[in-house]
Amino acid sequence: MKGKIKPFLQGCLAIAALVGLWALASKTGIFGKMDPEDAELLLPMPQVVCEEFWELLKSGYLLSNIWVSMKRVLVGFGIAVLIGLPLGIFMGMSVTVRNFIYPLVRFFSPIPGVAWVPLAILWFGLGDRAAIFIIVMGSLSPIIINSLQGVLNVDRSLYDALHMMEANGWQVVYHCIVPSIVPYVISGFRLGLGFAWRVVIAAEMVGVPKGLGYVLSVGRNTANTSVTIITIISLGIIMMLMEEVLFRVLENRTSKWKQWE
């Protein structure tokens, strides 16, 4: 328990230092670079942002838009996992599949998810389907590549042992490949989820209605810096919570598997 308290306190100290630096910058006119009154418009004091945060929460405006973005990310990321994870495993197991699919993955992986926004809006209109398509395209590559790399790095002696026991293909996948690639899969999921949030925010800012990106766009268009900062803080909190919920179980199982190994 003591080992968990120390990192928590250190994290709280870092946050407190950041908030203190923020308040000092706002109060001193970004460290003397401008008039303090003008600086408070560009970088409001923490208490001003907290008051605005509470008002947006109380009205339900912020939570409703968070939920819209959350649904889009979960659906799009889920589809990307359902496509990317088995595809990466099959590519690692079969040279033929890898030769056919990997050039396409290499071609599409450098393309940022934002680049798909115009096509998505043309194909699917303004709404959830466009956002989900963009999320899938933005988060698919890291899931495929990490899953593939995990399979390629499986210890060959494990394959040999299972073949000696006359294990079939599904038994090899279940008993050998899946436990071995979990760390790679978690890494791919983390990258994919991060890309999913970046892409959905960008899509909501340029055309897809509602969501956190839309709130960010409203803050920019109305010169309301508090709303912009609140949206950024909300994104950070949401990502931390989603990582805890989605990945903690997998990480625990990974650590147990390593201890067993």
Q: What is the pLDDT of residues 197-214, one digit of tens each?
A: 888 888 888 766 788 888
The confidence band for 84, taking pLDDT boundaries of 50, 70 and 90, is: very high
Q: What is the pLDDT of residues 119-150, one digit of tens each?
A: 888 888 777 888 889 899 888 999 999 988 88
The confidence band for 163, taking pLDDT boundaries of 50, 70 and 90, is: low
User: Does residue 28 carry a pLDDT above 60?
Assistant: yes
CA angle 130, 135, 138 (to 5 degrees): 125
Give the mean model confidence (pLDDT) for residues 179-187.
80
The confidence band for 159, taking pLDDT boundaries of 50, 70 and 90, is: low
Name the token pair of 131. Answer: 């956002």
Give the mean model confidence (pLDDT) for residues 175-194.
80
Rounded Cα gap, residues 65 and 214, in angstroms: 8
Residue of 134, 141, 6, 125 whose CA lies nearest to 69: 134
Q: What is the pLDDT of residues 35-51, one digit of tens each?
A: 767 777 778 888 888 98
- Do residues 236 and 201 lie in contact, with contact meaning Cβ atoms separated by under 8 Å? no
Residue of 75, 195, 203, 213 whose CA lies nearest to 131: 203
- Do residues 124 and 130 lie in contact, with contact meaning Cβ atoms separated by under 8 Å? yes
Question: According to the model, what pLDDT value does residue 261 have?
Answer: 45
Percent helix, strand, coil in the chain, to 5, is 85, 0, 15
The confidence band for 260, taking pLDDT boundaries of 50, 70 and 90, is: very low
Residue of 191, 57, 185 whose CA lies nearest to 199: 191
The per-residue pLDDT of the chain, averaged, comes to: 81
User: Does residue 196 carry a pLDDT above 70?
Assistant: yes
The confidence band for 259, taking pLDDT boundaries of 50, 70 and 90, is: very low
DSSP codes, 177-229: IHHHHHHHHHHHHHHHHHHHHHHHHHHHHHTS-SSHHHHHHHHHHTT-HHHHH
Question: According to the model, what pLDDT value does residue 243 have?
Answer: 76
Q: What is the pLDDT of residues 71-81, one digit of tens each?
A: 999 999 999 99
User: Does residue 69 carry a pLDDT above 80?
Assistant: yes
What pTM was estimated for this model as a whole? 0.80
Residue 156 burial (CB count, 10 A): 7
Q: For residues 30 and 233, which has the higher predicted lDDT (pLDDT)? A: 233
Question: According to the model, what pLDDT value does residue 253 have?
Answer: 63
Q: For residues 241 and 254, which has the higher predicted lDDT (pLDDT)? A: 241
CATH 3.50.30.20 applies to domain 59-260 = no
Rounded Cα gap, residues 238 and 231, in angstroms: 10
Question: According to the model, what pLDDT value does residue 82 have?
Answer: 93
